[in-house]
Amino acid sequence: MTSSRRLRHPVLLGPSVAALLLAAVGCSSTDAAVSITVPTPSPEAAGYCRALHKELPRTVAGLGLGDAGPKSELTAEWGDGEIVLRCGVPRPAKMDDPMAKGTEANGVNWLLEQPDGAGPRFTTTYRKAYVEVTLSEAYVHDASPLAAFGPPVRRTVPGL
């Protein structure tokens, strides 16, 4: 038995489907805005961070400097939050661990932390202000973006 029944208002189906698709696209994580927590450093560290901000590279690992909010001389991001820099962060407790992992990139020493379910986070060591760089999960085995931060950190944030 075949039904030859037709919808009386097939036009209503089109906009409904379009509205559902727009809602789904609007909720996708690829368009999510990056929200960066701004540190609250001491006045001395904030001065170093302002100087660093003026020296930051326009591109890192092929990603352009973004405009994630809030606007601050203490933060920056490249890509859609794939690389995030925060200057003036507190000294990580992990620095007290003699077994902590670290790396050196372009004359700057970095502490490595790998939070569960996130990309690596690096924090400068032996500097008068702590600079933190968080990489997306795409860089879980690639610290090469740190090289771009070595020269500006060395020029603007003195060692201890």
pTM for this entry: 0.78
Which residues, listed in sequence order, are joined to residue 18 by a DSSP beta bridge?
none
Residue range 14-36, pLDDT digits in tens: 333 333 233 333 333 334 456 79
Q: Which residues contact 90 (CB under 8 A, 6 or more apart)?
A: 39, 130
- Whether 120 shows a pLDDT value over 90: the answer reads yes
Average pLDDT value for the chain: 83
Buried b (16+ CB within 10 A) or exposed e, 109-145: ebbebeeeeebbbbbbbebebbbbbbbbeebeeebeb
Residue range 36-75, pLDDT digits in tens: 999 999 999 999 999 999 999 999 999 999 987 788 999 9
